Amino acid sequence: MLSRTLIVATLLALAGCATTPLSTGTNAVASAHPLATQAGLQALQTGGNAFDAAIATAAVLAVVEPYSAGMGGGGFWLLQKRNRETVMIDARETAPGQSHPDMYLNEAGEVRSDQPSLNGPLAAGIPGQPAAFAHINRLYAERPLRANLAAAIRLARQGFRIDERYRDLASWRRKVLRQHPDSARVFLHKGKVPETGTLLRQPALADTLEQLAEDGAEGFYSGPVARQLVEDVQAAGGIWTKADLAAYQIIERDPVTIRYRDAVIQTASLPSSGGMALAQMFGMMAERPITELYPEPDAVDRIHYRTELMRRAYRDRARHMGDPAYTDVPRERLRSSDYLARQAGSIEPLTASDSRTLFDAGTGGRHTTHLSVLDSDGRRVSATLSINWPFGSGFLSGQTGILLNNEMNDFAIKPGVPNAYGLVGGKANQVEAGKRPLSSMSPTLIDTPQRSAIIGTPGGSRIISMVFLGLLDVMDGHPAGAIVSRPRYHHQYQPDQIQHEPEAFTPDQRFRLQALGHRLENVGREYGNMQLILTDHTSGQTQAVADPRGIGQAIAQPVD
């Protein structure tokens, strides 16, 4: 992997930036909830930098979006400092110490029908979110951690009014929430989904946040909070131990850096599969541009071409990617020009590929959330955070107010068997004690001579394809509002189909894609919740835009 110094130097040269730090004169925050965006902006207005604002924003999201992210989950953060050096914060969950490859299989070796990798405390990995707050605040922020958690503590203790998005997702997970008394007590009302406008208070979560503010990571991973968490989890059949919590560590990693034409893209590295998959897709485009297939490509040609790129990248995700501490991922091979040229060369201009026939490299959301932050000195944060499914595992630790994730389902529960998002995996991503499950979360920064952007989205397995299409739109000069609202389509190798939003294709496009041999699957709803901050280097204007599919808010505020 390239050193950070070389990455920064290359980014500055290729993006056409000056050697002095980028200074926009604008503070901007985009997140999936207005209360979180406002907390982040207030942090910027009261002496904080982008990293303070990101913590404040994420902490509020942990309170007001219990269906998407929280203190019982984790995620990936890209932090870019004033000198343009970028670091990835890996706050992905880890498998408890008693985990093993067969823990979700029955005596016959088949996946258990009661779905313990999805529902209940056995589905939960050890959270990374509290450690991320403490780590980022200690090394990169300006304000005390207590100040950055203050808005979240207040909203947890005093409450906030629930909205239709909360009701929709609570309705979808009501059955599992009702199975756990503390979950039902906090998130439901007499077993039913509360009405819009109901005040939701989480005093136990406020107490836990107070402990984190007072003592940092130790306030969560040891002491009373850790003891209470373990008591609640074990009483409900989970396998967490105090040693599991005490052993959790944040990992700082180099981001994946992609150079395509005049753009420099920085995104998450393993155990996020996003960086590798995006690098492969852009690498295939460089090896075989669409104009080689179609001298004058129309919309259907582009859809077919991009779908075939997705198909190949997701295939390698399924076969080769996992936690690099446990799996020897052939990263150089997967990104080599020889391999990518061969992959791109296998794309047929008039025929959809059969996923079963793709060759091998060899070894030689709705749930999840995203936030984007920019400060007036040019620091940037792109962070994608998750508890996996809506309301995670559905299990709430009553003593601590922590809603547990169900990220263990992101492991390959059994090789070749799809997870909740239809993704298949193999031994590289099998369950092992202490291991971090493979993820699709792809927080991303992009710089071109014309524009810079902070971009990301929730969406499970579809995150990578959404970010890919969004990056292409940034490079093509599309307006910020159009980038976040564009119709979406996706291919993930298996199932062998183009999944798409209801209005993604015209009738003619559907007919022509099917004539090429593509199977189309209308998912029946819109998906994703992209948060974008876009700076135009010519005009100096910065725009912050929240996805209209969600209830988020984005604010760009010039600083005098």
Report the percentage of the chain scoring pLDDT > 70.
Answer: 92
386 is in an annotated binding site: yes
Is 522 annotated in some ligand binding site? no
Predicted local confidence at residue 356, as pLDDT:
74
Task: Give per-residue pLDDT as tens, 81-128.
Answer: 999 999 999 999 999 999 999 999 999 989 898 899 999 999 999 999
CA distances from 438 to 105, 247, 321, 410, 543 (A): 20, 20, 7, 6, 32
- Compute and round to an integer the Cα radius of gyration of the chain: 22
410: annotated binding-site residue?
yes
CA pair distance 24, 234, nearest whole angstrom? 50
The beta-carbon contacts of 495-503 under 8 Å, at least 24 apart in sequence, are 495/418, 495/422, 495/521, 496/354, 496/355, 496/356, 497/521, 498/303, 498/307, 499/462, 499/523, 501/525, 501/526, 501/527, 502/526
Q: What per-residue confidence (pLDDT) applies to 58?
A: 98
269 annotated as ligand-binding: no
Does residue 31 have a known ligand-binding role? Answer: no
On the question of pLDDT at 21 being above 60, the answer is no
Whether residue 27 has pLDDT greater than 80: yes
Predicted TM-score of the model (pTM):
0.91
Q: What is the pLDDT of residue 425?
A: 64
pLDDT at 423 over 90: no
Quote the CA–CA distance of 547 and 300 in Å, as a whole number: 25
Residue 6 has pLDDT above 60, yes or no: no
Question: What is the model's pLDDT at position 24?
Answer: 66
506-513 mean pLDDT: 96
Taking only the tens place, the pLDDT of each residue in 262-303 is: 999 999 999 999 999 999 999 999 999 999 999 999 999 999
Closest CA to 389 of 362, 411, 407, 414: 407
Q: Which residues of 295-331 are buried (b: 16+ CB within 10 A; e: fewer)?
A: eebeebbebbbbbbbbbbbbbbbbbbbbbbebbebbb
Average pLDDT of span 384-409:
96
**Residue 259 marked as a ligand binder:** no
**What is the reported pLDDT for 338?**
87
% of residues, the chain, pLDDT over 90: 82
As annotated, the active-site residues are 368
What is the per-residue pLDDT for 419?
Answer: 66
**Residue spans per domain, the chain:** 4-253+367-429
| pLDDT confidence of residue 320 | 87
519 annotated as a binding-site residue: no
- Give the relative orientation of helices 274-287 and 299-320 as an angle to the nearest 10 degrees: 130
Question: If DSSP codes are grouped into helix, strand and coil, which group holds residue 158?
Answer: helix
* Distance from C-alpha of 77 to C-alpha of 347, rounded to nearest angstrom: 34
Q: Which two tokens stand for residue 148?
A: 């950055």
pLDDT at residue 2 greater than cutoff 80? no
**381-395, 416-430, 473-487, 536-550: least confident range:** 416-430
Count the neighbouring beta carbons within 10 Å of the beta carbon of residue 106.
11
Residue 424 has pLDDT above 70, yes or no: no
What is the structure's pLDDT at 365? Answer: 43
Straight-line distance from the first to the last Cα atom of the chain, in angstroms, rounded to the nearest whole number:
40
CA distance 246 to 230: 11
Closest Cα partner for 17 from 90, 87, 82? Answer: 82
Task: Give 172-224 pLDDT, tens digit per residue.
Answer: 999 999 999 999 999 999 999 999 999 999 999 999 999 999 999 999 999 99
Q: What mean pLDDT comes out for the span 314-342?
A: 89
Mean of pLDDT over the chain? 91
Instruction: Say whether 439 counts as a known binding-site residue.
Output: yes
Report whether pLDDT(17) > 70: no
Conformation bin of residue 117: beta by default, left when phi > 0, alpha when psi is -120 to 50: alpha
Q: Which two tokens stand for residue 480?
A: 């910020």
Residue 444 above 60 pLDDT?
yes
Give the mean model confidence (pLDDT) for residues 69-79: 96
Interatomic CA distance for residues 134 and 381, integer angstroms: 16
Spell 496-530 as b/e; 16+ CB within 10 A means b.
Answer: bbbbbbeebbeeebbebbeebebeeeeeeebbbbb
Average pLDDT of 52-71? 96
Instruction: Give the pLDDT confidence score for residue 19 in this predicted structure.
Output: 30
* pLDDT class of 460 with cuts at 50, 70, 90: confident
CB atoms within 10 A of CB 159: 17
Identify the pLDDT of residue 489: 96
CA–CA distance from 392 to each of 70, 119, 157, 378 (Å)? Answer: 9, 8, 21, 34
Question: 436 and 90 in contact (C-beta within 8 Å)?
Answer: yes
Residue 20 is predicted with a pLDDT of 36
Helix or strand (DSSP H, E) at 268: none
The yes-or-no verdict on residue 427 having pLDDT over 90 is no
B/e letters for 62-96, b = 16+ CB within 10 Å, e = fewer, are bbbbbbbbbbbbbbbbbbbbbebebbbbbbbbbbb
User: Which residue, 187, 52, 70, 85, is CA-closest to 128?
Assistant: 70
Q: Give the integer Cα–Cα distance in Å for 512 and 520.
A: 11
